Structure 1
Amino acid sequence: MYLHLGQNEIVPEDRVIGIFDLDKCSYEKRTRDYLAAAEREGVVLDVSGDLPKSFVVCDHPYHRQIVYLSQLNPATLKNRAESGQLEL
């Protein structure tokens, strides 16, 4: 199955490591440090097209991990992942 992250970006569900709320997590120093390091490594993809609400950490065949910034609410992404259906 696949998970639609927004802006025509689709990832295999089995590669999703975690879905995080950007507003709730971004005030933590560890999260800010993690996102800054991912940005420096060039593994952050902004697929939000607007103000991101969540970030999704995925396993990637060519990188250790890849981080997608999404405009979708984390609850919406979680529901899509749990439904087992590709939602466009």
Structure 2
Amino acid sequence: MFLHLAKDVVVPVKNVICIIDADSIKNSKDSKAFFKISEEEGFVKKISDEKIKSYIITEEVEKKDKGSRKIIKTVIYYSPISSTTLQKRANFLEDIHSSDEVYVK
């Protein structure tokens, strides 16, 4: 299943490590430093120029060629969609995926 982060950006739900509310890091020096370093190191993808409402930390497995080691790449998305909305979307998708019952009218 995929999680829509905004515009044309979707990520597999299984790759999502965490969804962080942008307002929650305003008073934390450590969090601000983490995101600043992440930007400098090229881990960040801004989805739009709108106000950032949430940060989505993901890990993607890359494989260069057959037989080579897997490379885990961290990507942090800056999304204009609230963390609450993204969490609801993620839980909704998990609920659909885990449902074993089929309802027929």
TM over 0.5: yes
Partners of 1:39 and 1:54 in 2: how far apart? Answer: 15
Which range moves more in the overlay, 67-76 or 44-53?
44-53
**Structure 2, unpaired ranges of 5+:** 63-71, 97-105
Distance 1:24 1:80 in 2: 20
AA at the equivalent of 1:11:
V
Question: Which of 71, 76, 79 is the aligned partner of 1:70?
Answer: 79
The size of the alignment, in residue pairs, is: 85
Amino-acid identity (%): 29
State how far apart, in whole Å, the 2-side matches of 1:6 and 1:49 are: 11
Higher relative contact order (CA 8 A, sep 6+): 1
Task: State the AA in 2 paired with 1:13.
Answer: V
User: Does structure 2 retain, via aligned residues, the 8 Å contact 1:17–1:59?
Assistant: yes
The one-letter code sitting in structure 2 at the alignment partner of 1:23 is D
Q: Match of 1:17, SS?
A: strand
Matching of residues 13-52 of structure 1 within 5 Å: 13-52=13-52
- Per the normalisation by structure 2, the TM-score is 0.75
C-alpha RMSD of matched pairs (Å): 1.4
- Alignment partner of 1:39: what SS? helix
Which of these residues, 77, 85, 92, is aligned with residue 83 of structure 1? 92
Structure 1-normalised TM-score?
A: 0.88
